Every structure is written in C-alpha cells, then in structure tokens.
Amino acid sequence: MSAAHWESLRGKRVLLLQGPVGPFFARLGANLRALGAEVHKVNFNGGDCLFYRRHAIKWRGHARHWPQFLETLMKQRQIDMLLLFGDCRPIHTAAREVAERLGVRVGAFEEGYIRPNFITFEEFGVNGYSRIPRQAEFYRRLPAGGQHRETEVGRTFRYAALWAALYYAASALGRRWFPHYRHHRPLELSEAWPWLRSAWRKSLYRLRERGALRLLSGPLRRRFFLVPLQVSVDSQVRHHSDFRSVRHFMRTVLASFAAHAPREVQLVIKHHPLGRGYHDYGRLLAALAQEFGIVGRVLYLHDQHLPALLDNSLGTVVINSTAGLSALAQGVPVKVCGVAIYDMPGLTFQGPLDDFWQQAWAFRPDAALFRRFRAHLIERTQFNGSFYRGQAAARLFADCVADPAPSGAAPAFVDDVRASA
C-alpha cells in the first residue's frame, strides 16, 4: 500500500466508525490530523470510548435511527471518506449504504489476507465487496515483480487478548450510557470465561492430539483432505457464502465427502484457534460421521501446525478463509465454497465440491500466477504490521508526514449532532 493513497486524504474530512479493539484507530486519527485531514469519530459503547477518548461523538440511539443519524452527520460535516474495521458489522453495513447513496468513499480495514504479518485495507470493502480483479489473465499480464520485504510482527495474541479484555470490560460497565447498542457478538463480562476456557483447552488438546502430526505426515500422508474452519461468528461466512453457519458448512462438506470421496481417504477438520474457548464440535462431528456412514474417517484437530497439515494433505476445502491463500502458497489444491478474492481459474479448483474429492490429485495451482496475484494483493491492499502491537498506524503515514501539512492545528469538534426528525 503506497503512501500516495493516504496522501489523497490531506485536507479531507474523514469519519471513523468502529475500529479493531485497542488503540489503533486513535493512532490512525492522530496521524490523519498530522497529515492535514479533519477527523471525526463515532463511539458506540464503553469500549469504543476507552480507546478513543477525545473529540468523539457518542451515538446512544436505537439501531433503526442510525442510518438517518449518520446521513445527517455526514452532510453536516461534509464527510469525504468513511473508515471502519469489519465491513459486515450491522452498523457498518448500514453505513456503507448511506455512504454509497451520498457518494462518500468507504475504506475498510480487516485482518490480513496474508497472515500473520499483514493487515488489510481496501476501498469499497473486503472479500465479496473487494474490487481486486478476479480474472487470471489480468495477473498473467503483470510483470513478475520482485519479492516484497516482510517484517515479522512477532506474537500478537497476548496484546489482542489484553485489548479485548479491556474493551469488553469497558463496554459492559458502560452499558447504562449506551442502552440500545447491540454488538455483532456477545459483549458481556462473562466473555472472559471463554478466554480462560481457551487456555486450559489448549493444554488438554495438546495432550489429546499428541502424535496426530506424526500420523498425518507418516501413514496418512497424502491420504487426507484438510478443512480449516472459520470462527463461528465470522461475518464473512454469513455475508459472502450460502452457508447459514460453520455448522451448516461442516454438514455440507461431510455429506459430500461421504458420497464422493475415495474410501481410503480421511477428512481432517481443524478448529479455528480463536474459537477454541467458544465451541467444541466433537459431538456434532461424531454424530455427522455416524449419520453419513464415515465413522473412523473423520479426524478433529485443534492446534496442529497449519503449514505442516497443508503440506501433507491432498487438498483443502474452505469457505473464504485466508487459510486458502496459505494453501495456495504451498501449492496445495484448494476448493472455495464461498466468495473469496483468490477464487479464480488457475488458482483454485473450479468444479463442484463433489468432484474435488476425486480430481484434486490432478490439479495444482499455477505457481507463477499465484506469485503475481500475491504481489498485486500486497501492493494494493496489504500493510506489513499488526493492529494490536507496535506503531502500525504511524508507519502507514511515514512517507506522507515527511512533508507536513501546511494547515495549522486540527479543528475543534463538538460532541453531539442534531439529527433531523
């Protein structure tokens, strides 16, 4: 992502909605002001207020009034661009519609398409909303390009967990001031329990699954398909696929596998690490295996090393997970069951899921095409950094602020907006 993109916001009016948990959006706002932009922010709960404490508008209304309020706000402040994290959250879905109606640009942040060292920023939105070309010929015409420099961001889970704990606590304690707010996932102090449960489950699963990788890289090497799950509340599942839930996806995959996969082949289901404390699908998978007559052919894992699993598999099935990109990087056949930016001829298997089990062995992603696609994706949508650790927001603007904006101090903001009746 080039500094020129952010340079285009110099002197513009920018509205921030919800960001990732933690101080990233506060730093982003400060750097936008240093660039010469006029920055406004809406807070929706106590967690938002904790991490963005100055010059923010507090929205305390009912969800049904939000679009009208936002339209009034954007007209009054003459907003040029809307920035948000998670473009499928209910408040952001409504905001996208208002912005489109008013001709206001929308920029969406999201976890990195390429992990763990990148974060994503795209105008218009991510995955199904992305404007990244989906035609293989577009990328084949691009120059080969060089290798992008990539700095390791290190372990970020502890920081994400800390910010999340503080955000959830502040939101729960501040509920009386935001009585109508409904989060896109549970927002209670009791949410600390799944995080604690995740820690002891990790130890339990490590003991229970010892030897699993030796089995999959030995006797079962190239005799299993891998299905890495997404978190149960992933909005990309609900908005950019035909599946109602991760459970619906699992039922569909197991039914297809039972009917069409070679009998000597196994199916490995890998739980998403961030969902460890919330769900255990062991009983469900056992019941589905019994229902479809594949008892003994389904292996359920949690914290095994994903690259090692991919390297030993026949292929992988995803909805639209970034694990699909990891698989392509390792030359592993991928079947996408939802809407994903990397789902195109030459990269992913284009036939139906029922055929994938029989034909994956003969399909390989085009390595040269993937290199060009990855380079273009990084250049246009990725930033090397983390939302939760370090100074990623500052580095976004490192080149721009070398030439400081001629304008003086950032304008003062008021804390309320009069919505028209």
CA separation for the pair 113, 59 (Å, rounded): 31
| Predicted local confidence at residue 4, as pLDDT | 63
How many C-beta atoms surround the C-beta of residue 144 within 10 A? 8
Q: In this structure, are 253 and 314 located in the same domain?
A: yes
Q: In this structure, are 152 and 224 located in the same domain?
A: no
Percent of the chain with pLDDT over 90: 66
- Domain of 22: which CATH number? 3.40.50.2000
pLDDT digits (tens, 9 = 90+) for 281-302: 999 999 999 999 999 999 999 9
Average pLDDT over every residue of 109-116: 89
Q: In this structure, are 241 and 338 located in the same domain?
A: yes
pLDDT digits (tens, 9 = 90+) for 125-165: 888 889 999 999 999 999 876 667 788 888 888 888 889 88
pLDDT band of 207, cuts 50, 70, 90:
confident
Does 417 have pLDDT greater than 70?
A: no
Q: In this structure, are 392 and 328 located in the same domain?
A: no
- Is residue 201 domain-resident? yes
- Is residue 412 domain-resident? no
How many C-beta atoms surround the C-beta of residue 184 within 10 A? 15
Give the total number of structural domains in the chain.
Answer: 2
Which of 19-23, 72-76, 156-160, 416-420 is least confident? 416-420
pLDDT band of 276, cuts 50, 70, 90:
confident
- Domain of 212: which CATH number? 3.40.50
Does 416 have pLDDT greater than 60?
A: no
Q: In this structure, are 364 and 389 located in the same domain?
A: no
Q: In this structure, are 196 and 345 located in the same domain?
A: yes
Q: In this structure, are 112 and 223 located in the same domain?
A: no
Which of 38-47, 173-182, 310-319 is least confident? 173-182
Within 8 A by CB and 6+ apart from 130, the residues are 122, 124, 341, 381
pLDDT band of 115, cuts 50, 70, 90:
confident
| Predicted local confidence at residue 55, as pLDDT | 87
| Predicted local confidence at residue 3, as pLDDT | 59
Average pLDDT over every residue of 241-269: 95
Q: Is the pLDDT higher at 192 or at 92? A: 92
DSSP string, 396-417: HTTTTTTS--SS-SPPP--S--
- Is residue 131 domain-resident? no
Tokens 């969902």 sit at which residue?
275
Q: In this structure, are 13 and 39 located in the same domain?
A: yes
CA angle 141–143–148, rounded 5-degree value? 130
Q: Which two tokens stand for residue 34?
A: 């240093």
pLDDT digits (tens, 9 = 90+) for 323-358: 999 999 999 999 999 999 999 999 999 999 999 999
| Predicted local confidence at residue 149, as pLDDT | 76
Q: In this structure, are 54 and 193 located in the same domain?
A: no
- Is residue 103 domain-resident? yes
Closest CA to 21 of 56, 45, 57: 45
* DSSP designation for 51: H
Q: In this structure, are 71 and 192 located in the same domain?
A: no
Positive or negative torsion for Cα 353, 355, 361, 367: negative
Q: In this structure, are 251 and 366 located in the same domain?
A: yes
| Predicted local confidence at residue 406, as pLDDT | 36
CA separation for the pair 203, 302 (Å, rounded): 11
| Predicted local confidence at residue 336, as pLDDT | 97
- Is residue 106 domain-resident? yes
Q: pTM for the full model?
A: 0.86
- Is residue 165 domain-resident? no
Q: In this structure, are 65 and 201 located in the same domain?
A: no
Domain that holds residue 84: 3-117+148-156+385-396
Average pLDDT over every residue of 202-222: 89
